[in-house]
Every structure is written in C-alpha cells, then in structure tokens.
Structure 1
Amino acid sequence: MWPEKDFDFIKLKNDDEGTHYGLFEGEELISVVSIFIQGVQAQFRKLATLSSHQNKGYGSKLLNYVLSEAERLSVKRIYCNARIEKVTFYEKSGLSKTDATFSKSGKDYIVMERFY
C-alpha cells in the first residue's frame, strides 16, 4: 500500500498488541492484515496485497478469514479505516460505511464497520 515509503512508515505504536496474518503463495508472502481486539470491538488495519497479486481474490480471502476469526472470538463490532476508493471491496464482505471520514498522508478514508 505504501511501496514508496520506508518500512518504519507503516509501523504503529501498538503493533505488538495485534494479531498479524499473512497469506502465502508457496514461500512468498502476498497479502497481510492485522487485527487489534479491545473487549467486544476490533479494528483491522494494514490490509495489503502485493500489486502483482491484486484482483485475484487474495485480499478478500484474508479479510474474510479475519472477519470469521473476530466472530469466533466474540467480537460484536469490527471496523477499519477504508480508503475511499476501496469502499466497494469492503462492502462485499459485509462492512458498511459510517459518517466518519478523514484524510491522512494524502489519502481520504472512511470508517467502515460490521456488527455480529
């Protein structure tokens, strides 16, 4: 998602509090996502797929796995900060737009959520 940035750019202060998932094709890591659970709510962050492997269903597969894990762990609400141009992608997995929007690092976002 940020190939032009240094690796430190994508690090978050609380990365060690999350559970991090990766999807591999053979030995190659092609898609990643992190989930941060706080009580009955969870946020997933940093869903990204290598550009050479996009539009093949890998991101959807990984996202749907994380959504299932959240439900299994008794999460009642899961949300993300979705880039505006990816709203349709997240809607396909049952997330809905909220009224919360913001801009960061030159990109526009909307908070999307799903209730269980």
Structure 2
Amino acid sequence: MKRKKVLIIDDDLSCLDVMQLVVSGLGFETYTFPTWKSETIQEIINIRPDVIILDEWLIGVKGSDLCVILKSINQLRRVPVILVSGTEGLAEIARRSQADGFVEKPFDIAEIEEIVLRF
C-alpha cells in the first residue's frame, strides 16, 4: 500500500520540524520546504503530494496567494491545501483562497494529526 505524501511549507523552522515529526509519526512520507521559489511549483508537481500544509506568512509571499496558484494548476487542483497561521481571520482567508482547511497557530499536535488524517 502506498504511503500518503504530505508536503509542508513553512519558513518557521521550529514549526516545520514539529509538523514534520507529527506527520511522519503517523507513518506518512513527508516533504518540507522552508522557502518558496518559482521552481517550487515544479518540485511539488513531481512529488505528487496527497496533502499540502501551507503557512500563510512566508518570506515575500502569502500562503493564501500560493493556494490560489496551486489550485489553478491541473495536476494540483484536487490536492487538499491546509493553511496554517496565527493571523486573525484565518477561516475567511482560507475560504477566499480555496483552501480545504486551516489550523491556527499556536496549534495543538492533535489538530495537525486530525487534519492530515481527514484528507
């Protein structure tokens, strides 16, 4: 049976590490990106993730804007994207950007487990 692939994009390395530990502890294959570059989209397409966890505040770009871009790409449009942030109004930001869910920071480990298992 193929293991679920979870991609995590967060420039806060401590959050990235915690999420990676939680997700890999569930037995999933994890991929992490601490930064966003234009070539990242092709890398994501090549990985073919089952779920993407995406921080709202990355250096130089908003995760919600990236979510809109990811959802516009044929190979990625059906991949669930989960926004993660401590920003106010995250539910509305997630809705407007077509995200499939959201987790507010500071998050509880059980929240990350639950949302990854849901998708």
More strand by share: 1
TM-score category, normalised to shorter length = 0.3 to 0.5
More helix by share: 2
TM-score, length-scaled by structure 1 = 0.41
TM-score, length-scaled by structure 2 = 0.41
Flag the structure with more relative contact order, 1 or 2, with Cα contacts below 8 A and sequence separation at least 6. 2
